[in-house]
A and B are shown apart, each in its own frame.
Chain A
Amino acid sequence: MYAQLVETGAKRVKSLDEMSPEERAFQEKIDAETKIEPKNWMPEGYRKTLVRQISQHAHSEVVGMLPEGNWVTRAPTLKRKLQLMAKIQDEAGHGLYLYSAMETLGADRDEEIEKLHQGKAKYSSIFNYPTLNWADMGAVGWLVDGAAIVNQVVLQRTSYGPYSRAMIRICKEESFHQRQGYQILLDMMREGTEEQKQMVQDAINRLWWPALMMFGPHDDESPNSQQSMAWKIKRKSNDELRQMFIDQTVPQLEYLGCTAPDPDLKWNEETGHYDFGEINWQEFYDVLKGNGPCNRERINTRKKAIEEGAWVREAAVAYAKKQKQRAAAA
Chain B
Amino acid sequence: MSEWRLYEVFVRSKHGLNHKHVGSVHAADAEMAMENARDLYTRRNEGVSIWVVPSDMITASASDEKEVLFDPSEDKVYRHASFYELPDEVGHM
Contacts and interface: CB of A to CB of B under 8 A. Distances in A.
Interface of A: 37, 39-41, 89-90, 93, 96-97, 100-101, 103, 108-111, 165-166, 169, 173, 313, 316-317, 319-320, 323-324
Contact of B1 (A41, A90, A109): A109
Contact of A40 (B2, B25, B26, B64): B64
B28 interface: yes
B43 interface: yes
B63 A110 contact: no
B2 A93 contact: no
Nearest to B2: A110
Interface residues of B, number: 22
Contacts of A101: 23
Contacts of A96: 25, 40
Contact of A316 (B28, B39, B62): B28
B43 A109 contact: no
Contacts of A313: 1
B62 A40 contact: yes
Given A96-B40, A319-B28, A40 B63 contact: yes
B43 A89 contact: yes
A213 to B, nearest CB: 30
B31 A323 contact: yes
Contacts of B22: 169
A316 B32 contact: yes
A103 B6 contact: yes
Contacts of A97: 23, 40
Interface string B23-56: 1111011011000000110011000000000000
